[in-house]
Amino acid sequence: MKLLPLAAILAASIALAPAADAKLSKAEATMAKTVAAEQDRSIALLERLVNQNSGSLNLEGVEKVGAMMRAELEPLGFAVTWKPMPETKRAGHLIAVHKGREGGKRLLLIGHLDTVFEPDSPFQAFTRKGDLAEGPGVGDDKGGMTVIVAALRAMQAAGTLRDANIEIHLTGDEEDAGDPIAKSRADLIAAGKRSDVALDFEGLVRDGAADMGSVARRSSESWTVTTTGKANHSSGIFSAESGDGAIYELARIIQRFRTELPEPNLTFNVGLVAGGQEATLDAGGIRASASGKTNIIAATAIARGDLRTLSAEQAARVKAKMATIVADHAPGTGASLAFDPGGYPAMAPTDGNRALLAKLNTVNRDLGLAEMAALDPLKRGAGDISFVAADVDSLAGLGTYSTGDHAPGETVELPSIARQATRAAILISRLAAERR
């Protein structure tokens, strides 16, 4: 495949930037030129990855994508291990380790093998449209894995990979985490504890035309409110004997959530509601059934929703407020609040994370690229890097730029592979050269 003009211009501009302002070392100039020269190879790898379905529940497909990545990483000197996870009902994770010089910073690179598109999805194939390409997971996160490979190959060509201490974790269930999550993320959490820096290769986010850096990601947790009432004749509703009924109690709680919880960086959604004489949830908590009559006061009602916060402190405080609201019952009713086990923690914005973005911006200046401001955390969801962010300085959004993620028509901007891989190769090389 030949690069189309826009991609060729971008690749050439990145490769020529060192000569123009002499801010990159000889090795870094080699990295930039290598990424540009191998753009066709990178696109071909992305196409192969995308054309292998790896929906989170397609265990065989996820493992096949893992094998493709093994084939890329082993020739670069990585010791690659496949960690099966049958106990979580998911395929497993690919872990690759490159040992460099003693005392150098230990870098953790994070991505994921799976997508939201299962084999029964009609959206299955890579389709190129000039400098754009559509396909399942083409941005999230097969584009990110392509950036990792392109960056590491550039480092190898420049001689900076040899001394780098790098551990790569490509999870097989980021889009639908295995249960229990403490088990499915145990290896990643352990890797974070032995690392000095974590870099996440999920997609780059833009604000308008500006590339942004992600120093924070919010949590993602699910909750259930269950209310009860007295199943009497409807003519007695609101009386001392019959009370308000379960549905009014649930409505009271949801309305108070809406009016009393809002604060910066917090969102809380109600995604499922059911109520009546009887109401039940399925085992997965994603389907509800209810029955009742208009002349019977509802005996039970259920609401399911999510909660997203920017820090553990915010999560604890908001949960306490939710519990207080739920406990303040309407007459003749009862209610309970429960949070699902597991969930994704927050990646709080820290000075260490901001320092990493500052180092990336030094790379941007040396490449002649615009500096990247910190992204508003409301503009991206939860991710695997949050499991290590409490233990290690972290930076997210080093993957490709894409639009329409998680939906048919997901589209990647192919020139962003070269731009992101060049940034990543130089940043990783500079970090790896630092002493612990």
In the listed set 309, 339, 369, which residue is the last one of a domain according to the structure?
A: 339
**Range 123-136 average pLDDT:** 97
**Range 190-200 average pLDDT:** 98
Global pTM value: 0.90
- Whether 178 and 229 map to the same domain: the answer is no
- Quick: pLDDT tens for 60-83: 999 999 999 999 999 999 999 999
- Whether 301 and 275 map to the same domain: the answer is yes
Identify the band that residue 429 occupies on the pLDDT scale cut at 50, 70 and 90: very high
How high is the pLDDT of residue 2? 32
In the DSSP assignment, the letter for residue 176 is: S
- Whether 278 and 363 map to the same domain: the answer is no
- Whether 202 and 226 map to the same domain: the answer is no
Structure tokens at 303: 């609401």
- Whether 143 and 244 map to the same domain: the answer is no
**Which SS3 state, helix, strand or coil, does residue 311 take?**
coil
Q: What is the CATH number of the domain that holds 160?
A: 3.40.630.10
How high is the pLDDT of residue 198? 98
- Whether 291 and 214 map to the same domain: the answer is no
Identify the band that residue 342 occupies on the pLDDT scale cut at 50, 70 and 90: confident
- Whether 367 and 288 map to the same domain: the answer is no
User: How far apart are alpha carbons 41 and 47 in whole angstroms?
Assistant: 10
Please determine, for residue 16, whether its predicted confidence score (pLDDT) is greater than 50. Answer: no
Number of domains in the chain: 2
Please determine, for residue 349, whether its predicted confidence score (pLDDT) is greater than 80. Answer: yes
- Whether 156 and 272 map to the same domain: the answer is no
Structure tokens at 141: 């996160």
How high is the pLDDT of residue 223? 98
In the listed set 297, 313, 339, which residue is the last one of a domain according to the structure?
A: 339
How high is the pLDDT of residue 18? 42
- Whether 41 and 155 map to the same domain: the answer is yes
In the listed set 300, 317, 339, which residue is the last one of a domain according to the structure?
A: 339
Per DSSP, helices labelled H in 114-185 are 142-158, 181-184
Quote the strand ranges of 173-247, DSSP E: 197-200, 205-207, 210-213, 221-228
Beta-strand relationship, 267-276 and 300-308 = antiparallel
CA angle 393, 342, 322 (to 5 degrees): 100
- Whether 40 and 27 map to the same domain: the answer is yes
- Whether 203 and 253 map to the same domain: the answer is no
Handedness of CA 402, 82, 40, 163 (dihedral sign): positive
The domain in which residue 244 lies consists of 221-339
- Quick: pLDDT tens for 207-230: 999 999 999 999 999 999 999 999
- Whether 45 and 143 map to the same domain: the answer is yes
Q: What is the CATH number of the domain that holds 330?
A: 3.30.70.360
